[in-house]
Amino acid sequence: MSSDKIVGIDIIRSGSDLSQFRYAMVFLEGEVLKAVKEVSFGGLIRELWEIKPDVLATDNVLELGGSKRDLLRVIKMLPPSITLVQVNVESGKPVKIQYLAEKAGLVGDKSKLDPFKTALVIAYLAREGYGSRLRVFEDKVKIYVYPGRSGIAGGSRTEKYVRNLRAIVTRHVRKIKEVLDKNNIDYDLTVRKSDGGVEKALFTVYTPRERLYGLIKQVKGKDVVVKIKPVLNKSFLSDLVELRRGDEERYLIVGYDPGVNVGLAVLDLDMNLVYVTSGRELDRGDIHNLLVKLGRPVLVATDKNPPPEMCRKLAASLGALLYVPQKSLSTAEKEVAVSEFVKRHPSIDVKNTHERDALAAALKAYGEFQEKLDKLSYKLREMGFYDVNLQRYKVKVLMNEDLSTIIEEVINDYVREERKESAVVLKSDVTAQAPRVEEALKERVSVLEREKEFYKQRVLELENAVRELSSRLDAVTSELNERVLKDRKVSELMQRVRNLEARLRILENENSVLKSKAINYENLFMKLYAGTHVLVPVYNDKCLKFLRDERGGVLVAFTYNVTEALKEARELVESARLGFLLPPTALGLSKHLIEEESIPAVSAEEVFEVNECLVVADRNSFDRVIALVPQLSEERRKKRYGLTYEDINALIEEYRKGREF
């Protein structure tokens, strides 16, 4: 493991509290020894953030915190890009640091290493590639977006203020989403919506934390908070629970109900409930890691049509098929399916609607294939195959393989496995009984001969059965050849019809959208022609070319974000040349700007978007903006100088009369 910056540490003194810990720290940069010093716990964390090393090396990772609980606290304080290495691990087993130092040629005698020498040896061993890399953080980041404060306590403007905060949160969510989409970064988004916009949002981003540097920044403002947290690897500590697979791999049907509260239910191919759970912030990465430990997911099921995007992503990440019902399951259907299942399995506890929906989706998916699965089980038992792994062959039913093909594969695998087991037993027996190898071999050959005769007889029986079935099939085929050809042609035509119908539905949907747009534009043209509405340009850099003088040389523009617009157009507003139209939802903001700041910003009664540069607004609001521009300009001037234009004209007139007199 060769890295540019490596820090090696060894503990000098521990204590009951992290503040009492002292460490020997060595800093290597390439081939150069940069520092050897004694540091406190706080000093170690500060040094690591200043150096930001590629590797932090130790001979016992628990020395960082003294206990596993404190170790987790320490790890959360480390720079996210750091790699933690425990150097005294060889072939997956712990070894003494003295042994590794001698092996690497770093020390020549058997003298005990003090903490500073140990830290130096650890750093050099890490540079030479010794040890085991500990994956502290997952390649996953949580981004939380929520309001910075809860709003004004009481008063008539509280609701408007809260809506404004939600609008700000919505804009930040939209910006983060655009950045992630632009950089092709995989993510899941969970939002809680309220009146006026997004109340809270959680992005689960599947990428290392360092990839987001320069793309998304943490924000802690009065209006909005954006918090970015790397996700700690849950399997980092050895005492965490690890779900293990059995000797035979289980194939799973997964029912998934995504959302703020996630529901998850897992069935095997014998309709046994393997796992059911629900909870907040159970993201796609956690679910993926859990499922691969439970078995091999082959089908991800949802209760909705069209399926949620997160279901598609989970199925893709697992390499599983996605099951979507012909129509979304109703609440009654889900209740009936789950209640019947629970009656057959009284020990099952379905705690909430999220677990119910997930289990109903898995049961619905199983029901689609149940008849063929039962038929396969019956056939194999009838033929005497009781000890085969049925799950292995049932999964082929989900892949729509033909039952006869699957049964033939079972037969071939069974014969092959029997021969393989015989060979293994023979080899083991000969090795264990070397002194009597000849006698054992003769006995084993005799057994194999008997087995051979049995299998030859079995093969002959199966071959006869196959020949009989083949002759019957040939007879039926010759009689119905013409009909089969017709059926094939009909099948091809039916498939073409289905394809054309699917294409027709797509075109009908596109036509419906275009028709709706045409009707909307026709209505807009009628409003414009009647004079009840006007075209208004949107205020941004792309659309400035559409601004034109209205009555009295006044410019009118529409904006969703008047605060940002005022930063660029303050001079035009102050010179009584520009007024703003705001969306209908900004009535409170409009009233505040007019009454408190004398800014001509009117909340339109009606606004229809034409494109990114033009909107259609009602003329009443438009005329009101034009009227307010000079009026509010006078008010601003009066507030600033104490005089209006009329006052100034009156003084000048009085002065002239005095001169004439």
Helix axes 353-382, 390-398, angle to 10 degrees: 110
Residues 560, 631, single domain; the answer is: yes
pLDDT at 424 over 60: no
Domain containing 169 — which CATH number? 3.30.70.120
Q: Which of 53, 55, 24 is nearest to 127 (CA)?
A: 55
Sequence-separated (6 or more) residues with CB below 8 Å from residue 474:
none
Three-state DSSP at 378 gives helix
Q: What is the SS3 assignment for 632? A: helix
Total domains, the chain? 5
pLDDT over threshold 50, residue 602: yes
Distance in angstroms (rounded) separating the CA atoms of residues 400 and 153? 62
Taking CA atoms, 53 is separated from 35, 73, 78, 236, in Å, by: 13, 19, 10, 20
Burial of 308 (0-12, 13-18, 19+ CB in 10 A): middle
Average pLDDT of the chain? Answer: 80
Alpha-carbon span 318 to 304, nearest angstrom: 20
499, part of any domain? no
Residue 657: its pLDDT value, please?
75
For residues 455 and 537, state if they share a domain. no
Among the ranges given (5-19, 537-551, 553-567), the one the predictor scored with the smallest mean pLDDT: 537-551
Higher pLDDT, 231 or 559: 559
3-class DSSP state of 557: strand
If asked whether residues 86 and 162 sit together in one domain, one would say no
Is residue 240 one of the residues assigned to a domain? no
Give pLDDT tens digits for 172-210: 999 999 999 999 999 888 888 877 788 889 999 998 877
Lowest-pLDDT choice from 150-159, 526-535, 555-564: 150-159
Give 18-65 pLDDT, tens digit per residue: 887 889 999 998 888 888 889 998 999 999 999 989 899 898 787 777
Q: How far apart are CA 603 and CA 622, in angstroms?
A: 10
398-402, 424-428, 565-569, 588-592: least confidently modelled range: 424-428
472 band by pLDDT with thresholds 50, 70 and 90: confident
What pTM did the predictor assign?
0.41
φ and ψ at 614, to 5 degrees?
-135, 140
The CATH code of the domain that includes 370 is 3.30.420.140
Count of C-beta atoms within a 10 Å radius of residue 50: 9
Asked if the structure places residue 149 within a domain, the reply is yes
Q: How far apart are CA 94 and CA 60, in angstroms?
A: 10
Tell whether 369 and 279 lie within a shared domain.
Answer: yes
What contacts 169, CB < 8 A, 6 or more positions away? 145, 146, 147, 197, 198, 199, 200, 201, 224
Within this chain, do residues 456 and 571 fall inside the same structural domain, yes or no? no
**152 pLDDT band (50/70/90 cuts)?**
low
Tens digit of each residue's pLDDT (9 = 90 or more) over 75-95: 878 887 788 888 887 766 777
Let me know whether 544 and 590 are in one domain.
yes
pLDDT at position 440: 54
Asked whether residue 522 is assigned to any structural domain, the reply reads no
Are residue 276 and residue 342 in the same domain, yes or no? yes
Pick the closest to residue 383 from 401, 421, 409 (CA basis).
409
Q: Show the tokens assigned to 547.
A: 């601004």
The verdict on 367 and 334 lying in the same domain is yes
Q: What's the Rg (C-alpha) of the chain? A: 38
Label residue 444 by pLDDT band (50, 70, 90): low
Alpha carbon distance 631, 628 (integer Å): 5
Please give the pLDDT value at position 244: 35
641 shares a domain with 580: yes
Average pLDDT on 105-126 reads 80
Both tokens assigned to 442: 């003769």
528 DSSP assignment? H
Q: Which residue has the higher pLDDT, 260 or 237?
A: 260
Going by pLDDT thresholds of 50, 70 and 90, the confidence category of residue 508 is confident
Output the furthest CA–CA distance in the chain (Å, rounded). Answer: 149
Rounded to whole angstroms, the Cα distance separating 562 from 242 reads 54
Do 302 and 347 fall within a single domain? yes
- Write out pLDDT tens, residues 333-353: 999 999 999 888 877 888 899
* Residue found by looking up tokens 């060889």 in the block: 90
User: Where in the sequence is the domain holding 561, given as residue range(s)?
Assistant: 533-646
pLDDT at 437 over 60: no
Residue 417: what pLDDT?
Answer: 63
Higher pLDDT, 655 or 275: 275
The neighbouring-strand residues paired with 84 are 56, 134
